[in-house]
Amino acid sequence: MGAPRKYPEELRERAVRLAVEARRDPNTRGGALRRIGEQLGINPQDTAELGAAGRDRRG
């Protein structure tokens, strides 16, 4: 059994979606994870990890 999730699944999915979208647009890429983290109340490092996990799942 794994450790409990730090963030609810809905918030994780939203962060992943926003991170993936921000990385597609070169105009919003710089500082995107920090901004997304601030908007959602997520540590920017956690936002980066969620975004990486989203890329892995989506291919």
pLDDT for residue 10: 92
Is residue 24 included in any domain, yes or no?
yes
The pTM score is 0.67
Is residue 51 included in any domain, yes or no?
yes
Is residue 50 included in any domain, yes or no?
yes
Is residue 3 included in any domain, yes or no?
no
Which residues constitute the domain of residue 43? Answer: 9-58
Is residue 2 included in any domain, yes or no?
no
What token pair was written down for 48? 């980066």
Is residue 1 included in any domain, yes or no?
no
How far apart (Å, rounded) are the C-alpha atoms in residues 19 and 24? Answer: 9
Identity at 20, one-letter amino acid code: V
| SS3 (DSSP) at 5 | coil
Interval 3-57: pLDDT, tens: 667 889 899 889 888 888 888 888 877 788 888 889 999 887 887 787 676 665 5
pLDDT for residue 36: 87
| SS3 (DSSP) at 14 | helix
Is residue 4 included in any domain, yes or no?
no
Please count the structural domains in the chain. Answer: 1
How far apart (Å, rounded) are the C-alpha atoms in residues 59 and 44? Answer: 22
